[in-house]
Amino acid sequence: MDVSYPFGFGLSYTDFEYANMDLTLENDTINISLSVQNIGKQLGKEVVQIYISKPGTVIDRPYKELKGFTKTKNLAPNQTEDILIRIPVSELRYWVESNAYWALENGTYKFQAGSSSRDIRLTDEIEL
């Protein structure tokens, strides 16, 4: 069912552009880096949200899950900020009820960066 205001919906007096998304695995943490540029005419902040999904999963899990977010500093028009969001691999695990333990489903995970759950700006994938 469509909702009137998706999770993360908000109003701003300016517009932002996302670019250069990069995923790296370091120890047991996934680092998501990207840049956010204020392309509008007003000073403003942006909340960048990271959603994760598991294409082709055999596990009963949500289609898209919010796993991380951060807010930029106040950005002047044309100003860019590079941001980094860290997500522990353990955040991708699911509970195996029959054996009572947490497990990680191997394979490709899709990471999406956006300003709301319905306004996805960048997508990248990582193999775990």
Model confidence pLDDT, tens digit, residues 23-49: 999 999 999 999 999 999 999 999 999
> Given pLDDT bands bounded at 50, 70 and 90, which one contains residue 8?
low
Spell out the domain ranges in the chain.
16-127
Comparing 6 with 59, the larger pLDDT belongs to 59
Q: Which CATH number describes the domain made up of 16-127? A: 2.60.40.10
Is the distance from CB of 114 to CB of 124 less than 8 angstroms? Answer: no
Comparing 26 with 10, the larger pLDDT belongs to 26
Q: Rounded to two decimals, what is the model's pTM? A: 0.91
List, in sequence order, every residue forming a beta bridge with 48; answer none if it has no partner.
Answer: 70
CA angle 61, 58, 90 (to 5 degrees): 55
